[in-house]
Amino acid sequence: MNCPADIIGKQGILVIDPGSGVQIGEVVLRQIANRSLLAS
């Protein structure tokens, strides 16, 4: 995995550098969603 970063806003999530493929990007999004659910 590269060095993905994310910005979570009221209108959505922006993923910067999601990795080398769609599958890695999907994993990053799942991790962000799980983290967001735990924080709320």
Dihedrals φ, ψ of 4, to 5°?
A: -70, 150
pLDDT tens track for 22-39: 887 788 788 888 876 656
Mean pLDDT, all residues of the chain: 75
Mean of pLDDT values over 8-20? 77
pLDDT at 9 over 60: yes
pLDDT of amino acid 19:
65
pLDDT of amino acid 37:
61
Q: What is the distance between the alpha carbons of residues 18 and 32, in angstroms, rounded to a whole number?
A: 12
pLDDT of amino acid 39:
61
**Is the dihedral angle over the CA atoms 36, 9, 16, 27 positive or is it negative?**
positive
Instruction: Say what the pTM is.
Output: 0.54
